[in-house]
Structure formats: structure tokens, C-alpha cells
């Protein structure tokens, strides 16, 4: 029976990123200010000595062992499986085989990491290169590999809307549950580091040669990162059967597209404003109800002023605490919304606000300043998480504690 007002609960979370291989490790890094950026170790690039990146601190062989896979098919898939397995394990759904279960995964890279390896060999000698390295190139193949490993068959789909991909995956999952199509959804996203994406962002001249400084007046650009983050969404009926009763719901969500530019946000932040205000309306909340905003906060000149302008328009004069956790993880592209959804849940569970690292000089055009230090022991009931992508595709999620 359709119920568009039924609560959708967060039953489990899973993550792997440059600051940790699971939720506990990431939380420890967030609480202790340990960023994940550094010199490239696993990605081989001509920019290796110039551009810092936020890589997961495991090689493919180690990731395959952690994921429990005998063969390495794609780093993107390995990251996805590690995080998704943790999310399902923490959810503790004992009768999941009896439930209609979906897997909605976001990615922009897909299996491109393996494709790049193929062409490196093939272009030097067209009798070389392993064609099996390109069969999982497209984004949907990565999703299907992981769904098979998780034994999920009822509903499988892939979202690829640039940096808003994971957020869109999560709220699509909520809509499926509310429309009685599935009972459980593992939703989020994954992306690995590739030369294609690094070179693309570098061509746009928005990659920082130092560690990024989102919402700083002297910000220079972003650091690319990799990882995966998933939440397990369940219906109220499933939530009632769990031993560990969920206390957090996805209360609001909205996607808007201002279609201003292929890669840039509109200067007035109209897409960001529409996404945030739409999520508030969906949740039945007012701007003053939000306790923390996990900013999209990439550190580029364009993004931060556009997002900040939208926040000023919506929240002035009462601003919630806010920060960009990309100062820890780098910009993980399609995975960012999933990773930051996990961080939003952690903020609600532990009553903490994460710091916006390396913020030295506040932006002169904005009347607010993100948090520079960890804030602990505060009441956090509603968290707004922003994910704004290329082409003006903007999404906001609201997580609430009940």
C-alpha cells in the first residue's frame, strides 16, 4: 500500500575512505582531525608529485581480501563491496532473504581504472593488453558485480549524476520503500581514483596543489578522493522487527537542476537553494530546525560562493553549525553523498559537529563561518547534507533523530 508519508529508517551504515576502512576508523579520524590527503601511492599519474589526493590506504589485493572476492575486477567495485557489506552487517536484518531488497549504487568512474590499465599496454603494443579489463568499464557493471556478491536480486539500478549521484541514490531508495516496491534498500555510491578524472578536473584548473581549504577566502580548488559510502534504508515495518531499533530517519530530500553550466554552479546558487528548501519542505521543517549542515564544500571558487549564497538566502539571520568534511576525505565525486550521509548519521548518533579543517580566512562575502574545531556533546536532531554536481544537478538530504 502506497504511503508517501511513512518514515524511512536508517538501519545500517558502511564506509571506506581515505580516513578509514570502516565507520569506526572514519569516526576516530573525524574526531581527531586526521585528514586523508597525501602523495599518490596507488594511482600512477604524471601529476603524482604535484597534486595531493585522498586515496584509500589499501592496494587492490588488500581490498579484494577485505571484500572477500577471489578476483580483482575493479577497484571501484571493491570499494563498493567493502562499504555495502559493512552497512548490511550493522543493520542486522536476520530475515533479509524473505524481504524485497534493492541495491541502488552511484558511480561516475565505473570500471575505468581497469580500462586505463588495458590501454596503457595496448597503445604501446596492440598485441598486448587484457580485454577482460574493459568488460566492466560501464557504471552499471560495477553495480551488478556488487549486487551479485551481496545476493541482492529484487531491484538493482545505477545512478550517475556526477557529484550528486549518491544523494540521488539514497532518496530514490526512500521513494521505492514509500511506494511499497521494496522493503530494504542498500543505497549510496562508490568511485575510485583514475587518471581520466584527475586529468579532467586538472584541465578545468580547479585542483589544488596543496591540501584544500573549503570556504576559505584564499581557497584554490579541490583535492580528489576515492571511497564508498552506503546506508541501509528500511520501512517502518522492517524497523519494528530489528533488535537494534533504528532512531534515525531520512526525513527530507530534494533534487533540483538549474542547468546553468556544464561544470559550474550558478553564481546565485539557485539550484542549491531549491534543493535545500525542497528538502526542508519534504521534511516539514523550517530552516531554524537544522542543527548542522554538511556542506558540499569542494574548495573551488565557484562552488563555495554559490553554496554560501544559497545558505545565506535560506537561513539568514540564524545559521546552523556547518562544515565541509571534504577537508578530510577529499572530493570523492559520485561517492561523496553516500560518504557524507554516513557522516550525517554519525553526527546525529554522537552529538558532534565535524571541523572544517584548514579554514584560516573566512570568506568576506558570507556572514557565517564554518566550524574550525570539533564540537562535542551538542544536541543534533536534524542534519542537512548537500551534494551538488556538474550540469547544475543539486540534491539535499535531511537526516533526523526521532
**Which residues carry out catalysis?**
163, 296, 331
Nearest to 100 by CA among 22, 191, 12, 173: 173
* Spatial distance between the Cα atoms of 84 and 103, rounded to a whole number of angstroms: 9
Q: CA 220 → CA 193, 207, 210, 298, 300, distances in Å? A: 20, 7, 8, 10, 6
Q: In what order do the strands lie in the sheet with 227-234?
A: 155-159, 101-106, 184-191, 227-234, 9-16, 248-257, 393-401, 382-388, 292-294, 321-323
Write the DSSP symbol of residue 319.
P
How would you class 106 by CB atoms within 10 Å of its CB: exposed for 0-12, middle for 13-18, buried for 19 or more? buried
* Spatial distance between the Cα atoms of 279 and 277, rounded to a whole number of angstroms: 5
Residue 132 CB: number of other CB atoms within 10 A? 11
* Spatial distance between the Cα atoms of 368 and 378, rounded to a whole number of angstroms: 19
* Spatial distance between the Cα atoms of 109 and 333, rounded to a whole number of angstroms: 9
H-helix segments, 151-283 = 165-178, 195-203, 236-239, 270-283
Amino acid at each position: 500500500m502506497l504511503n508517501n508519508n511513512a518514515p524511512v529508517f536508517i538501519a545500517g551504515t558502511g564506509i571506506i575512505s581515505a580516513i578509514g576502512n570502516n565507520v569506526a576508523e572514519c569516526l576516530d579520524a573525524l574526531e581527531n582531525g586526521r585528514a586523508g590527503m597525501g602523495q599518490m601511492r596507488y594511482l600512477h599519474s604524471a601529476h603524482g608529485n604535484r597534486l595531493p589526493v585522498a586515496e584509500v590506504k589499501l592496494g587492490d589485493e588488500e581490498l579484494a581480501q577485505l571484500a572477500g572476492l577471489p578476483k580483482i575486477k575493479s577497484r571501484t567495485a571493491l570499494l563498493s563491496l567493502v562499504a555495502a557489506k559493512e552497512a548490511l552487517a550493522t543493520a542486522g536484518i536476520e530475515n533479509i532473504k524473505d524481504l524485497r531488497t534493492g541495491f541502488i549504487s552511484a558511480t561516475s568512474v565505473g570500471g575505468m581504472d581497469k580500462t586505463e590499465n588495458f590501454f596503457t599496454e595496448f597503445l604501446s603494443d596492440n598485441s598486448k593488453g587484457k580485454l577482460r579489463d574493459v568488460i566492466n568499464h560501464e557504471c552499471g557493471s560495477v553495480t551488478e558485480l556488487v549486487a551479485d556478491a551481496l545476493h541482492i536480486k529484487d531491484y538493482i539500478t545505477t545512478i550517475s549524476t556526477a557529484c550528486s549521484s549518491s544523494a540521488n541514490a539514497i532518496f530514490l531508495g526512500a521513494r521505492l520503500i514509500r511506494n511499497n516496491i521494496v522493503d530494504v534498500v542498500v543505497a549510496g555510491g562508490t568511485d575510485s581514483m583514475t587518471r581520466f578524472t584527475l586529468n579532467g578536473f586538472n584541465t578545468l584548473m580547479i585542483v589544488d596543489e596543496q591540501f584544500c581549504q573549503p570556504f576559505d577566502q584564499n581557497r584554490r580548488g579541490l583535492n580528489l578522493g576515492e571511497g564508498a559510502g552506503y546506508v541501509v534504508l528500511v520501512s517502518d515495518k522492517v524497523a519494528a522487527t530489528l533488535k537494534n531499533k533504528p532512531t534515525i530517519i531520512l526525513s527530507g530530500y530534494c533534487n533540483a537542476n538549474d542547468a546553468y553550466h556544464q561544470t559550474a554552479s550558478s553564481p546565485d546558487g539557485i539550484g542549491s537553494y531549491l534543493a535545500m528548501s525542497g528538502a526542508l519542505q519534504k521534511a516539514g521543517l523550517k530552516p531554524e530546525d537544522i542543527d548542522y549542515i554538511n556542506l558540499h564544500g569542494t574548495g573551488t571558487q565557484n562552488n563555495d560562493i554559490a553554496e554560501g549564497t544559497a545558505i545565506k538566502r535560506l537561513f539568514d539571520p540564524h545559521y546552523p553549525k556547518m562544515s565541509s568534511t571534504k577537508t578530510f576525505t577529499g572530493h570523492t565525486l559520485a561517492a561523496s553523498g553516500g560518504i557524507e550521509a554516513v557522516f550525517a548519521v554519525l553526527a546525529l548518533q554522537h552529538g558532534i559537529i565535524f571541523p572544517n579543517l584548514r579554514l584560516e580566512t573566512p570568506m568576506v562575502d558570507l556572514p557565517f563561518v564554518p566550524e574550525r574545531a570539533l564540537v562535542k556533546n551538542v544536541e543534533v536532531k536534524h542534519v542537512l547534507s548537500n551534494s551538488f554536481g556538474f550540469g547544475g544537478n543539486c540534491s539535499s538530504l535531511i537526516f533526523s533523530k526521532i
